[in-house]
């Protein structure tokens, strides 16, 4: 396993961090874990990633693999009852990514969201026990994740037209 550090500078014209360098680096590597660190130097925001990786993909390239062959093993861990919370977390992730100009896998992978659903952490310390979630990520997003995890969802999703339920951000879903 190898380690690589990549720092991205905030691009005010784009309104976020350009992740081209990160994407290019990871396209032919097997990512084991990733930790993010955010800091400001001379009034310029930076996002630094510490990547642990293998120099080649262990499994087939996800982009080239037909949809049925992609690694979606996380789906097997979720029950139908788990999908409500998983979808709330995924929606939250999408909103945060859009707000911060980051791709979803940078915030939390589907595997990490699945482990949050399965383990239902009750504290930031428990959240950091999930692989790939370090102290920085827990400090930045942990309280929101813990609040979303506390939402009680109905056993079966409400069908459209029969009613509405409150989403994690107060919006009706």
Residue 133: count of CB within 10 angstroms of its CB: 23
Q: What is the pTM of this model?
A: 0.51
Q: How much is the pLDDT for 141?
A: 92
- Identify the residue with better confidence: 140 or 61: 140
Give per-residue pLDDT as tens, 99-113: 888 788 888 888 999
**Distance (Å, rounded) from C-alpha 109 to C-alpha 160?**
29
Q: Is the pLDDT of residue 163 over 80?
A: no
Token digits of residue 108: 């939390």
Q: In this predicted structure, which of 2-11, 63-72, 160-169 has the lowest mean pLDDT? A: 160-169
Give per-residue pLDDT as tens, 131-159: 889 888 899 999 999 998 887 655 544 44
Give me the mean pLDDT over the 13-42 stretch.
85
Cα 161 to chain centroid distance, Å, stands at 31
Q: How much is the pLDDT for 165?
A: 45
Q: Is the pLDDT of residue 123 over 80?
A: yes
Burial per residue of 14-25, b for 16 or more beta-carbon CB atoms within 10 angstroms, e otherwise: eebbebeebeeb
């Amino acid at each position: 396993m190898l380690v690589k550090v990549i720092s991205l500078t905030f691009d005010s014209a784009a309104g976020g961090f350009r992740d081209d360098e990160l994407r290019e680096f990871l396209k032919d590597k097997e990512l084991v874990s990733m930790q993010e660190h955010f800091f400001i130097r001379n009034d310029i925001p930076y996002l630094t990633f510490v990547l642990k990786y293998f120099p080649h993909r262990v499994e087939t390239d996800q982009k080239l693999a037909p949809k049925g062959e992609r690694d979606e093993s996380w789906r097997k861990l979720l029950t139908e009852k788990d999908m409500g919370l998983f979808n709330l977390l995924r929606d939250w992730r999408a909103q945060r990514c859009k707000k911060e100009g980051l791709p979803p896998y940078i915030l939390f992978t589907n595997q990490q969201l699945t482990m949050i659903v399965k383990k239902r952490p009750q504290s930031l310390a428990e959240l950091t026990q999930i692989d790939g979630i370090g102290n920085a990520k827990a400090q930045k997003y942990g309280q929101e994740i813990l609040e979303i995890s506390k939402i009680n969802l109905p056993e079966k999703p409400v069908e459209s037209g029969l009613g509405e339920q409150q989403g994690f951000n107060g919006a009706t879903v």
